[in-house]
Amino acid sequence: MASDSSSASEQLVLSADPKHPANLICELCRGFYRLGWVTGTGGGTSIRHHDHIYIAPSGVQKEMMVPTDMFVMDFHSKEYLRKPQALKPSACTPLFLAAFTKRGAGCCIHTHSQWAVLITLLVERESGPDACFEIEQMEMIKGIPKGPGKQGALSYFDRLRIPIIENTAQEEDLTEALEQAMDNYPDTYAVLVRRHGIYTWGDNVHKAKTQCECLDYLFQVAVEMKKLGLPWTNASLADGL
Ligand SMILES: CSC[C@@H](O)[C@@H](O)C(=O)COP(=O)(O)O
Ligand SMILES: [Zn+2]
């Protein structure tokens, strides 16, 4: 028979509500797997719901997870309220926390999308704070908010900028560069990681998912444009690129 503490722990993740974060993370990751975003155990999703942060385990097939696999952390103390035995929390945890603490996000999605990876290889600018993907005059730009504290979304004529940071051997070692990119690009809702993927966040699950889908669409179009010799911005057009 389960002890009181283990049943209290289970109650943090067991719910018949499909919108409960522990259910949503499993459902979202199954969808992201079909898009090729979280294959081979890579990538993942974390949700903040009030004072609780829901985190997937590390190194597991993200499309096979069940709600009882989820870790639950207290947002304020950063202590684990729930730690499934024999599992470790995702190595992405400090990066997800950066989105929750620095940006007030409600959901952060990490993908290994091949389109995101290819974009980081196609952006020719050197590494450093100036490395960013830029595109304008694309309808899907309108799916990205203007910035934290700003009303509305980018317009068709606005230029979308997504910073790129360099990959590291260990996922958690990306944290400092990700936080620096957030500071350097105060309006951004995403950071690309060269030869690795992307971190995207939003105020809630619906917004984070929408933004991640719009960005991935733009990355795919941009890769195809590059192959056709088409410029991503009007400035590139003027440069004759
Ligand atoms: C294919 S292993 C990929 C991992 O090292 C990492 O990049 C990743 O995104 C997932 O880390 P995880 O700790 O399994 O949640
Ligand atoms: Zn990763």
Give me the half-sphere count of Cα atoms (radius 13 Å) on the Cβ side of residue 41.
7
In a domain, 192, yes or no: yes
Inform me whether the pLDDT recorded for 39 exceeds 70: yes
Under the banding of pLDDT at 50, 70 and 90, the label for residue 191 is very high
Q: CA-to-CA distance for 7 and 60, rounded, in angstroms? A: 24
Average pLDDT over residues 165-186: 97
Under the banding of pLDDT at 50, 70 and 90, the label for residue 5 is low
Residue (of 236, 231, 129) closest to 184 by Cα position = 129
Average pLDDT over residues 30-57: 98
Centre of ligand 1 from the C-alpha of residue 60, in Å: 9
For residue 16, give the DSSP letter: S
Based on the domain organization, do 130 and 239 belong to the same domain? yes
In a domain, 135, yes or no: yes
Of 10, 79, 139, 176, the catalytic one is 139
Domain count along the chain: 2
Based on the domain organization, do 74 and 136 belong to the same domain? no
Under the banding of pLDDT at 50, 70 and 90, the label for residue 1 is very low
Based on the domain organization, do 81 and 179 belong to the same domain? no
In a domain, 101, yes or no: no
**Which helix (H) or strand (E) segment is 85 a member of?**
none
21-34 vs 205-228: helix axis angle to the nearest 10? Answer: 10
Inform me whether the pLDDT recorded for 68 exceeds 90: yes
Based on the domain organization, do 118 and 227 belong to the same domain? yes
pLDDT tens string 75-134: 999 999 999 999 999 999 999 999 999 999 999 999 999 999 999 999 977 677 789 999
Q: Which of 39, 57, 90 is the last residue of a domain?
A: 90
Based on the domain organization, do 187 and 83 belong to the same domain? no
Based on the domain organization, do 124 and 241 belong to the same domain? yes
Under the banding of pLDDT at 50, 70 and 90, the label for residue 240 is very low
Q: What CATH number corresponds to the domain at position 64?
A: 3.40.225.10
- Ligand 1 near 59 CB (within 6 A): yes
Domain that includes residue 140, residue range: 112-241
Residue 15 pairs in a beta bridge with none
Average pLDDT over residues 13-29: 98
What's the pLDDT score for residue 241?
46
Rounding to the nearest 10 degrees, give the CA dihedral for residues 190, 194, 197, 201.
Answer: -10
Based on the domain organization, do 84 and 123 belong to the same domain? no
Q: Which numbered atom of ligand 1 lies nearest the CA of 59?
A: 14
pLDDT tens string 198-239: 999 999 999 999 999 999 999 999 999 999 999 999 866 555
In a domain, 106, yes or no: no
Q: Is 139 one of the annotated active-site residues of the chain? A: yes
pLDDT tens string 119-147: 999 997 767 778 999 999 999 999 999 99
Beta-carbon contacts of 170 under 8 Å, excluding residues fewer than 6 positions away, are 91
Q: CA-to-CA distance for 42 and 92, rounded, in angstroms? A: 10
Instruction: Tell me what ipTM this predicted complex has.
Output: 0.98
In a domain, 39, yes or no: yes
Tell me the Cα Rg of the chain: 18
- Ligand 1 near 57 CB (within 6 A): no
Under the banding of pLDDT at 50, 70 and 90, the label for residue 173 is very high
Based on the domain organization, do 182 and 125 belong to the same domain? yes
Q: What are phi and psi of 77, to 5 degrees?
A: -85, -20
**Which helix (H) or strand (E) segment is 49 a member of?**
strand 44-49
Q: Which of 90, 122, 155 is the last residue of a domain?
A: 90
Based on the domain organization, do 58 and 153 belong to the same domain? no
What's the pLDDT score for residue 130?
80
Centre of ligand 1 from the C-alpha of residue 114, in Å: 15
What's the pLDDT score for residue 239?
53
- Ligand 1 near 89 CB (within 6 A): no
- Ligand 1 near 110 CB (within 6 A): yes
Share of the chain above pLDDT 90, in %: 90
What's the pLDDT score for residue 46?
98
188-to-15, 25, 182, 184 alpha-carbon distances in Å: 34, 23, 7, 9
Q: Which of 57, 90, 123 is the last residue of a domain?
A: 90
